[in-house]
């Protein structure tokens, strides 16, 4: 029975890897197509678009190459939260963009900061990187020395960058909804780690979740 469950989990994970990689590559191509079709855009807008396209390619590669887990959250809700939290906010890039210099420069800064933070975090995560809440081991190096979920913080900064490039009431609402979904993902992940990694209890007692001295 356990072999069958493991096989189903592996098949699901491979399918999600393929789907996720294709989705982010399509988004990268969509942004690149916009760059090619509007070369006369102001340079802050072009710079922001290039950074966003590179970031989508990075997300595609990270999604496709992430390793298998030894345990993951059970049930439909954690999977839905992971799916929505991972893929929904990046569709904001499909909305109309602004040509104003300040929002585009702020967008570029946020995307670059988020991308660098994500790369640094994943370097320390190694084989513990995942999308659906999964248990591998408790990483306590790099940014994990200070907060428990630096990858979520990096992602949220990058999402803010996408919103700044595509400012509207709708994208602001999507940002707020995404933050709510990410909070749910954090709780699912922590519950899974408590049940599968005995050392996690002492680790979480001495760390902030996302923002030091706030939460």
**Contact assessment for residue 135 and residue 73, using Cβ atoms and an 8 Å cutoff:** no
Phi, psi of 72 (to 5 degrees): -145, 160
C-alpha neighbours within 13 Å on the C-beta side of residue 13: 21
Angle, CA 10 vertex, CA 183 and CA 17 arms, to 5°: 60
Give dist(CA 183, CA 186) in Å, integer: 5
Residues of the chain with pLDDT under 70: 1-13, 36, 39, 66-76, 83, 86, 90, 93-94, 126-137
Structure-token match 């994208």, residue found: 171
Q: What pTM does this model have? A: 0.75
Is 97 exposed, middle or buried (CB count within 10 Å of its CB: 0-12, 13-18, 19+)? buried
105-159 residue pLDDT tens: 998 899 889 888 888 887 777 655 555 545 556 777 888 888 988 888 988 998 8
Q: Buried b / exposed e across 169-194, counting CB within 10 Å, b at 16+?
A: eebeebbeebeebbbbbbebbbebbe
pLDDT given for residue 6 in this prediction: 41
Tokens of 140: 């306590």
């Amino acid at each position: 029975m356990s072999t069958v469950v493991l096989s189903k989990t592996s098949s699901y994970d491979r399918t999600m890897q393929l789907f996720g990689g294709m989705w982010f590559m399509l988004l990268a191509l969509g942004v690149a197509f916009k760059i090619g079709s509007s070369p006369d855009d102001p340079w802050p807008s072009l710079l922001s678009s290039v950074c966003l396209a590179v970031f989508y390619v990075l997300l595609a590669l990270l999604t496709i190459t992430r390793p298998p887990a030894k345990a993951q959250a059970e049930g439909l809700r954690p999977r839905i939260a992971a799916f929505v939290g991972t893929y929904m906010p990046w569709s904001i890039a499909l909305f109309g963009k602004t040509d104003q210099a300040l929002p585009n420069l702020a967008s570029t800064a946020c995307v670059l900061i988020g991308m660098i933070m994500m790369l640094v975090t994943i370097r320390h995560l190694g084989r513990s990187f995942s999308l659906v809440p999964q248990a591998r081991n408790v990483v306590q190096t790099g940014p994990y020395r200070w907060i428990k979920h630096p990858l979520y913080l990096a992602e949220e900064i990058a999402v803010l960058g996408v919103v700044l490039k595509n400012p509207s009431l709708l994208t602001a609402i999507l940002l707020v909804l995404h933050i709510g979904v990410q909070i749910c993902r954090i709780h699912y992940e922590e519950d899974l780690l408590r049940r599968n990694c005995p050392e996690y209890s002492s680790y979480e007692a001495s760390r902030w979740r996302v923002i030091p001295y706030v939460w």
